[in-house]
Amino acid sequence: MDAMERRVFLKRAGMGMLAFTVGGADVLMTPGQARAQGVPFRLLKAHEAETIEALGETLVPGAQRSGVAHFIDQQVSVSPGEALLEARQLNVKPPFINFYRAAIGAVDRAAEARSKRRFAALAGTEQHDFVDAMRQNKIDGWQGPAGSFVYLVLRSDSIDVVYGTMEGYEALGVPYMPHIAPDKRW
Amino acid sequence: MATQEKVDAVIVGAGASGSVFAAVLAKAGKKVVMMDNGPDWQSSDLISSDIWGRRVKPAGAPFILEGKHPVSMGAQGGWGVGGAALHYFANFPRLLPNDFRIKSEHNRAHDWPISYEEVAPFYDKIAHEIGVSGDAAAEELWRPKGQPYPMPPMRTFRNGQVWLKGFEANGIRMVPAAVGMNSTEFKGRAACIYDGWCHVGCPIGALANPLVTFLADARKAGAEVRAWSTVTRVLTDTSGNKVTGVEYYDRNHEKQVQPASVVVLAAWAAQNPRLLLNSATDKHDKGLANRNGLVGKYLMTHFASGTNAMFDEDVQNHMGTLGAQYMSYERYGKSAHKGAFGSTFIVAGSSIKLSGLGGLANTRPDLFGEALHAFVKRAVKNLARMNAFGEEQPKIENRLELASEKDEFGMPLGRIIHSYDDNDTALWNANFEEGLKIAKATDSKEVWQGRAAPPTIHLMGGTIMGTGAANSVVDSFGQTHEVPNLYCAGPGIFATAGASNPTYTIFALSLRGAEHLAKNWSSVAG
């Protein structure tokens, strides 16, 4: 990593933030802050973000408020080498947006086939039952990446934003103990 | 296309094996260039975070992963200077004598063309060169005597100690784990502070990654590290009998040629065969060093049988090292388990961070929602785990071949086909059964295992060593049988997998190969 890249990287990591676009300019903030401020999505469409938030919240309580959709949206908008998504370790082929679009489409198609509503519009217990069936590849007529894999990736993303940050550790009373601290909650 | 000034050696890959070759050759006065396709990582880039730690791993590595048990490329591989050894756990068990003669002793798999006794001096040299903590005398329960390690064992924590009762009840002797970490300050590098972030890179240099060991030595001796340089072909002369350098793309995606007297491929077990196959010419129509068709064959991995347990006490699982506190070769005999052939290496005690594939939340991948949250709240205090690593037997069907799809440089992707057989899964299951017995003999009342599918940990083979071209791609030094000034280095040259974490052996074999090359330079380089 050269000096310029390192300065930018360390600034972001040290501040614990990602670059979100506000009013045409890149602003560093956490995904939770981006959500709270209503930062527009870069690549995700509104209904796609809605599905991700609903899925994330079903998988890990708190994922919606922690900005799971803004996290994924920001990460799929940068080059694969810059991305911090677990998808990277799970051999998902870039561009990563293709996987998320396919996953969201599969979830919503299956939800509509089962309940005539998109996933985000299902009741809480229905969402829970849907995810439980999805993780076991037990949804008839499923079309898209395997349900168990969609579960794994989205669950990992939700764990990242809820538990994987300094704030997440603090909430659980776990000492973070960093060498190089992402000192603003990342 | 530009042609660079000729150098003595070009080394493809700046990870564990490449950095050893670079250091040895540069210290011998050779002009060395190392190529790596990713960033030039520095210690200060290694942020303590599972999320940021993913940056040092491949993103969309140019491989198609197939078979019943596809290789875990993203989690295992490296990307950029330092390679996979930038984020390894630094468990430093060595192979044992029985690994080198499986064919002779059991009429299975392959013998290595060398014995344990020929490698052992290099294990000792590496230990004193880069720093290993452990208790060599204790390990000598299972292996021939060698030199003591330069540092005493690492500290242990309750997350490791809670397992000892279970091991003892099952007749499994545990000894301090040998690790490539500093239990005390070593050669100006700091001692470990046990914060458990080993897997995302150790920026204080307490863990022996290439940046603070051989790569630093190589740079000091004048080796050039050329980051963002993607090698696509090894070039040969018109006779086909000598390599003349490599073709690569620089960070601006401009094609370049780097002439060299010797080429060392140190780009990992997957990329080395991909490069050899993509370097075909009319004299090497099946790929370089591949007249026997063995390039890309016999890829091997390890499978882990992990056992998790919840304890009533706070086991401090946020602390320690991610590798292991205790280890055992008690089941390392190839026939240690009835009905399953192969070695098993056992470890216990590790830090467990919250997120990430190996993190705490993923020990119960079936849980989500409030059930997951309730589990996480308990597990952050009470969860500990042990692991048994099993040896996959080499199979010629597990292979890398070139695909028709191409990467951004026009180079065919590698297709990696990998499946375990019934014997491998039998050993995986036998280790689970024993793990259960061990855990049930501890004070834990809640024990579980994840048996969805055998994982693929580490990657070895693909350019295996042997006695000659009839059975292998390289000799025991990594020199290809077919082209004398072309070498392969790294886990790809392992003839069999053993059950030990591979990096200590990678370092040892690379040092042995590099010293041999330096000593015989004129006859090799011509």
Residues with Cβ within 8 Å of residue A78, at least 6 apart in sequence: none
Nearest to B487 by CA among B505, B470, B459, B512: B512
- B268-to-A8, B26, B165, B503 alpha-carbon distances in Å: 30, 21, 39, 11
For an interface test with B, give the residue of A10, A72, A74, A163 to mutate (most B CBs within 10 A): A163
Which chain B residues are Cβ-neighbours of A61 within 8 angstroms? Answer: 369-370, 373
Q: Which class for B5: exposed (0-12), middle (13-18), buried (19 or more C-beta within 10 A)?
A: exposed
C-alpha distance from residue B474 to each of B276, B469, B521 (Å): 12, 8, 17
Contacts with B196 from chain A: Cβ below 8 Å: 177
Q: Report the distance separating Cα B141 and Cα B333, nearest Å.
A: 13
Which CATH number characterizes residue B337's domain?
Answer: 3.50.50.60
Whether a cis peptide bond, with omega within 30° of 0, leads into A95 is yes
Asked if residue B235 lies in contact with residue B244, where contact means CB atoms within 8 angstroms, the answer is yes
Residues composing chain A = 186
**Crossing angle for the helix pair A68-77 and A96-115, nearest 10 degrees?**
140
In degrees to the nearest 10, what's the CA dihedral of A164, A169, A170, A171? Answer: 80
Identity (one letter) of the amino acid at B121?
P
Q: Contact B54/A84, CB-based, under 8 Å?
A: yes
Assigned domain for A37 exists: no
- Chain A CB within 8 Å of residue B370 CB: yes
Contact between B174 and B326 under an 8 Å Cβ cutoff? The reply is yes
Residue A66: inside a domain: yes
Scanning B302-341 for CB atoms below 8 A from A yields 318-319
Å between B337 CA and nearest CA of chain A: 32
In a domain, A125, yes or no: yes
Percent helix, strand, coil in chain B (nearest 5)?
Answer: 30, 25, 50
CA distance to partner chain B, nearest, from residue A149 (Å): 11
The mean pLDDT of A133-150, rounded to a whole number, is 97
CB of B377 less than 8 A from some CB of A: yes
Q: Which domain holds residue B185?
A: 2-525
- Tell me how crowded residue B259 is: count the other CB atoms within 10 A of its CB: 16
Residue A84 and residue B51: Cβ atoms within 8 Å?
Answer: yes
Please, which pLDDT band fits residue A186 given cuts at 50, 70 and 90? very low
By Cβ distance, the residue of A83, A159, A177 closest to B361 is: A159
Q: How far is A101 from chain B, CA to nearest CA, in Å?
A: 17
Query: Which position has the token pair 């080993």?
Result: B198
Distance CA B436, CA B306 (A): 10
A-contacting residues in B 452-491 (Cβ below 8 Å) = none
pLDDT at residue B59, as a whole number = 85
CB-based contact, B427 to chain A, within 8 Å:
no
Per the CB < 8 A criterion, the answer to whether B311 and B378 are in contact is no
Task: Pick the residue of A155, A180, A184 with the most B CBs within 10 A to test the interface with B by mutation.
Answer: A180
CA distance B146 to chain A (A): 34
pLDDT tens digits, one per residue of A10-20: 445 544 567 88
List the Cα angle A42/A43/A47 in 5-degree steps.
110
Q: Which residues contact A80 (CB under 8 A, 6 or more apart)?
A: A88, A94, A95, A96, B59, B60
* Res A5: pLDDT: 52
- Alpha-carbon Rg for chain A, nearest whole angstrom, is 17
Phi-psi region of B298 (alpha: psi -120 to 50; beta: other; left: phi over 0): left
Residues of B in contact with A75 (CB under 8 A): none
B199 in reach of chain A (CB within 8 A): no
Binary contact (B55, A85; C-beta < 8 A): no
CB of B160 within 8 A of CB of B350?
yes
Question: What string of DSSP letters covers A62-107?
Answer: TTTTTTHHHHHHHHHHS-TTT---GGGTTTPPSSHHHHHHHHHHHH
* Residue spans of chain B under pLDDT 70: none
What is the separation of C-alpha B338 from the centre of its chain, rounded to a whole number of angstroms?
28
- Which residues of chain B lie closer than 8 angstroms to A135, CB-CB? 366, 368
Give the structural domain span for A138.
Answer: 42-171
Sorting pLDDT into bands at 50, 70 and 90, what band is A182?
A: low
Alpha carbons within 13 angstroms on the beta-carbon side of residue B411 total 27
Handedness of CA B207, B209, B211, B216 (dihedral sign): positive
pLDDT of res. A3: 52
> What count of CB pairs under 8 Å joins A to B?
153
Q: H/E element holding B347?
A: strand B344-348
Pairing relation of β-strands B32-35 and B224-226?
parallel
Q: How many CA atoms lie within 13 A of A180 on its CB side?
A: 26
Q: Do A182 and B377 touch (CB under 8 A)?
A: no
C-alpha dist (Å) from residue A9 to A3, B110, B210: 10, 47, 21
Pick from A91, A119, A76, A94: nearest CA to A68: A76
Give B193 to chain A, closest Cα distance, Å.
Answer: 9
Q: Is the ipTM of this complex over 0.85?
A: yes
Please report the residues numbered 30 through 69 in chain B whose beta carbons come closer than 8 angstroms to any beta carbon of chain A.
Answer: 38-42, 44-52, 54-55, 57-61, 65
CA distance B115 to B96: 9
Among B47, B59, B370, the residue with its CB nearest the CB of A83 is B59
Q: Is B28 on the interface with A (CB under 8 A)?
A: no
Which among A93, A159, A181 has CB closest to B355?
A159
d(CA B523, CA B477): 14
Number of structural domains chain A divides into:
1
Q: Which chain B residues are closer than 8 Å to A174 by Cβ? A: 318, 354, 380
The number of CA neighbours under 13 Å toward the Cβ of B433 is: 10
**Whole-number Å distance between alpha carbons of B65 and B269:** 14
Residue A22 lies in a domain: no
* Number of neighbouring beta carbons within 10 Å of residue A121: 16
CA distance A107 to A142: 8
For chain B, how many structural domains are there in total?
Answer: 1
CA triplet B260, B264, B270: central angle to 5 degrees?
A: 135
Residues B218-235, buried b or exposed e (16+ Cβ, 10 A)? Answer: bbebebebbbbbbbbbbb
B199 DSSP assignment: G
Q: How many CB atoms lie within 10 A of CB B375?
A: 19
Which of B37, B41, B43, B48 is most worth mutating to test chain A (most A CB atoms within 10 A of its CB)? B48
CB contact under 8 A, A173 and B55: no
